Structure 1
């Protein structure tokens, strides 16, 4: 079923544009901006493809070998609000990670790894839940959205952070904040993908535990950092050349 009927509420898109303006386009690192643009473009322009054609449904992957769902499902969102919440989260988390010692190069390859990794873990856990516990609902669920990768980013940002986050008087250690939010989101939004978010947390833990280090030792040698740094310097120079640049809406 086409998604055009899910995109009629323009308020989330206006809020997202406002958030991007508040941060400043020139302040968004290149890889984060690229991922943002891809997600938004897919949502706005690839609307003739129904979610049921791209969402991660384990039974279709296992029985009909529709492996493309592993890679496509994160880039599709159920509606404008779904896109809004995920993209605002991406702008802040991506900016923090890309401007940290992680850098653009490693951040890019982390996302490229996290996309299939979260989906593959999702498939594995769904199949085990069905085979060993009779929880067949997990192999038939249709899951879309970038939030699994965002949960992985959350783990990386908070795992070694000292201090606490406060929720309604509860002091949650930063190290366990992603787990707390996993439960909280599931309580507030029961149709959220529990497995998708859980697998994102697991991928984040694999990263902080160094499981992907061998891959990153290879990718760190690639010249992408220099290319992205040059691109960002050029963007900065262009904005300095036009000091009176501002947004206008017509």
Structure 2
């Protein structure tokens, strides 16, 4: 998040850099919710169609305790998150979000990741209001109540907490040379960004970290899972992909689908591997099994019918 600027440069280097990076990664490599979120924020920045009516200026949508809590302008809680005052502000935020989105959307699947983004957008704004009100009381500084900010940075910091939580512990290098334990890297980035970019919203970034910690360490994930369980889509998708479903007819004559074996534990089979790694491993394993059982065969690829029979026998 950043303090608002009255006018924004709509056609600058940041937009060209963002377009280049997205095309370099490949549109087909960016999951749909991540890509749609980036496209929506670019459209808002460029004031496509009638969006200028909803996002006329930074001062019209920025978020502060005074405007939200005292003036009851609740729509700012959402609008401020998607507004960027400068093209480079948009570029840095979207590039950072793209890599986190690729990882997390792949893990959670698109439906839950979209749900996660919606909750984080609201929660980081509310947390920003709360943090500024608390600091205003503790420090007896009314400027925290009128401090107004825009941008997606708070959500990105919340996602950063998740990416470090779901990757193996180790050491990361901030700025390329400062070693930091991976579980603490977001705290280091919070301080370093503030030193390098003094006009960045420290409390906005802090709010994002706190929301992320509430998800991985606190009750937020459990509360969200009441509405939409985080493992629902990843487990069912993996089961369909790896084992398949077979049709059945029940005793009443109805039809439906049922798994050919009880639902396996997702983590037990994936071992933390990505979808591509799982597919590559399965292909290699199948090829080795086929070569071992068909040494006299000249086939280069595994027999798919034989592979299906082996899997059915394994889970009967």
Task: State the TM-score, normalized to the length of structure 2.
Answer: 0.66
1:72-109 per-residue CA deviation (whole Å, 9 max, x = no partner) reads 10000110000000011111110111112x22222111
Which whole-Å CA distance do the structure 2 matches of 1:83 and 1:169 have between them?
A: 26
Paired residues of 1:122 and 1:196 also in contact (CA < 8 A): yes
Structure-2 residue corresponding to 1:214: 223
Which whole-Å CA distance do the structure 2 matches of 1:114 and 1:140 have between them?
A: 23
Shift of 1:198: 0.3
Q: For the structure 1 residues 224 and 156, does the alpha-carbon distance in structure 2 shift closer, same or farther, using more than 3 Å as the test?
A: closer
Structure 1 runs not aligned, ≥5 long: 229-250
Which whole-Å CA distance do the structure 2 matches of 1:196 and 1:118 have between them?
A: 8
Which whole-Å CA distance do the structure 1 matches of 2:14 and 2:52 have between them?
A: 17
Structure-1 residue corresponding to 2:17: 15
Structure 2 runs not aligned, ≥5 long: 238-316
Q: Are 2:64 and 1:57 aligned? A: yes
Which whole-Å CA distance do the structure 1 matches of 2:6 and 2:213 have between them?
A: 37
Structure-2 residue corresponding to 1:43: 45
Structure-1 residue corresponding to 2:149: 143
Paired residues of 2:112 and 2:233 also in contact (CA < 8 A): no
Structure-2 residue corresponding to 1:197: 205
Quick check: which has more Rg, 1 or 2? 2
1:22-66 per-residue CA deviation (whole Å, 9 max, x = no partner) reads 110011101101111111111111456011110002111122111
Structure number with the higher helix fraction is 1
1:222-242 per-residue CA deviation (whole Å, 9 max, x = no partner) reads x988xx9xxxxxxxxxxxxxx
Structure-1 residue corresponding to 2:195: 187
Across the aligned residues of Structure 1 and Structure 2, the Cα RMSD in angstroms comes to 2.5
The higher relative CO (CA closer than 8 Å, separation ≥ 6) is in: 1
Shift of 1:170: 2.8
SS in structure 2 opposite 1:99? Answer: helix
The alignment of Structure 1 onto Structure 2 pairs a total of residues equal to 225
Shift of 1:184: 0.4
Task: State the TM-score, normalized to the length of structure 1.
Answer: 0.83
